[in-house]
Amino acid sequence: MASIVLKDLSKTFGKVVAVDQVNLTIQDGEFFALLGPSGCGKTTTLRMIAGLETPTSGTIFIGDQDMTNCNPRERDVAMVFQDYALYPHMTIEENVGYPLKVRRINQAERKQRVTDVSNNLGIGSLLERRPGQISGGQQQRAAVARAVVHHAQVFLFDEPLSNLDAKLRFESRGFLKHLQKELQITTVYVTHDQAEAMALADRIAIIDHGKVAQVGSPQEVYLRPQTVFVASFLGNPPMNLLPCKLDLAKRQVQINGSQIDVSQVSQINGIKTLVSEGENLSLGIRPEHISLYAEETAQAFPAELYVTQPLGSEVLVTLQVAETTVSVRLFTDEPPELPRRVWLKPDPKRILLYRTDGNLVA
């Protein structure tokens, strides 16, 4: 077990900057997720930790040791690849036992450990088969078994669930989290699925174009995204961002002709130093933090109904405010009858304000 420290880590491929000055500290035993859209450099970061890619600049520490230029085999890490990389010519038993075989662990002990791990992961009856003869979910477990069979300091996962169907992905999520908590091994988990990252990780780093946009617990990054990018990446549907005009003196913003009080917004007192009177801002509010009214209401702004989608335990309402699309989540199992014109009232404690450069100001 070990902590991981990345210092000013960068990687360029020709002209492409895949990873740009990344600084991260991953605690011993932590389940850490790297989250970001396709092509943002998650895999490259993971591969540098594994030693499969040499950093262009920067340093990597694993367990206080500088591992920047070490071979993968010296780092004592285990990795589960997106395609699982199970060797097709070996049985599952040989696959799972391979890390032990190359470490010259004798056959009896090898067999014992492979059997133990495989039984734990529910693939004990498949040991004689080859990877081509088992299902995707079983392959994923076999790949995890191969990773945990020798007790590495660090686990690395590169989108291990992306090849599974929705139901299996949900099951595997619980299984992986349980396993990690049981083994207490430092884990770095790459995904582009925000729900996966939120569900699994102790902390999440959101990556944007090779840079770390924000690091924090799932609650922190969900409730107080530091940039518009993070706000619009997390959540399904993502946070609503409404253009508004700030009235500093009255502690109000103007949206679609209505005045909304922002005096309860956290850190509103510090906003003076960051913005000027009458500046255009974005008001951020999650779909579940908006109340919907059929009549004109104080502290609410008007919107045009676009469509309602019942989702079982909740109803998703999509509306139009001037040119902006707004989503509202209603926790009811009965789709409400709504007029064309409705009023939306954001929860005043949940409002966030962003500057036009994308940074959170209050």
Partner 1 sequence: MKRYRKRISSVLYYVFAVLAIAFFGLPLLWLILTPFNSRASLAVEIPTAPTLDNFRAVFQNKFAVQALTQNNLIIAIGTMLGVTLIASLAAYALSRARIPGRNAMAYTLMLFSSVVTGTAAMVPIFLIIMGMGLIDQHLGVILVLIGGNLPTAIFMMRDFVDDIPASYEESAMISGASPFQIFKDVALPQVRPGMMVVAVWSFVNAWGAFLIPFILLRSSDKLPASTAIYSFYTEAGTPNILLVSAYALLYTLPVVVFYLLVNWKYGFRFFGGIKR
Ligand X SMILES: Nc1ncnc2c1ncn2[C@@H]1O[C@H](COP(=O)(O)OP(=O)(O)OP(=O)(O)O)[C@@H](O)[C@H]1O
Q: Binding partner 1 by CB under 8 A: which of 2, 60, 79, 315?
A: 79
What does the buried/exposed string (b/e) look like for 236-257 if buried means 16 or more CB atoms within 10 Å of the residue's CB?
eebbbbbbbebebeeebbebee
Starting at the edge strand found earlier in the chain, the sheet holding 57-62 runs: 16-26, 4-13, 57-62, 65-66
Contact 122, 175 (CB under 8 A): no
In angstroms, how far is the first alpha carbon of the chain from the final one? 39
Instruction: For the segment 37-66, give every residue that binds ligand X (CB under 6 A).
Output: 38-44
Whole-angstrom Cα distance, residue 319 to residue 197? 28
Contact 313, 265 (CB under 8 A): no
Q: Binding partner 1 by CB under 8 A: which of 18, 26, 33, 77?
A: 77
Residue 94, CB-side half-sphere exposure with 13 Å CA sphere = 10
- The answer to the question of residue 155 lying near partner 1 (CB under 8 A) is no
Between 1 and 16, CB nearer to Mg ion = 16
Please report how close the Cβ of residue 193 comes to Mg ion at its closest, in angstroms: 12
Instruction: For the segment 173-212, give every residue that binds Mg ion (CB under 5 A).
Output: none
- The answer to the question of residue 43 lying near Mg ion (CB under 5 A) is yes
Instruction: For the segment 95-114, give every residue that binds partner 1 (CB under 8 A).
Output: 98-99, 102-103
Between 43 and 118, CB nearer to ligand X = 43
Between 13 and 306, CB nearer to ligand X = 13
**Which DSSP symbol is given to 209?**
T
Q: Binding partner 1 by CB under 8 A: which of 28, 37, 61, 81?
A: 81
Please report how close the Cβ of residue 210 comes to ligand X at its closest, in angstroms: 7
> What is the number of the residue whose Cβ is closest to ligand X?
43
Angle at 151 between CA 145 and CA 153, to 5 degrees: 120
Contact 236, 194 (CB under 8 A): yes
Please report how close the Cβ of residue 281 comes to partner 1 at its closest, in angstroms: 46
Helix extents (H) in 149-272 = 166-183, 194-200, 218-223, 228-233
- The answer to the question of residue 141 lying near ligand X (CB under 6 A) is no
Please report how close the Cβ of residue 198 comes to Mg ion at its closest, in angstroms: 19
Please report how close the Cβ of residue 104 comes to ligand X at its closest, in angstroms: 33
Instruction: For the segment 180-219, give every residue that binds ligand X (CB under 6 A).
Output: 192
Number of residues that make up the chain = 362
Residues interacting with Mg ion, by CB under 5 A? Answer: 43
Residues interacting with ligand X, by CB under 6 A? Answer: 13, 16, 18, 36, 38-44, 192
Residues interacting with partner 1, by CB under 8 A? Answer: 50-52, 71-73, 75, 77-79, 81-83, 85, 87-89, 98-99, 102-103, 146, 150
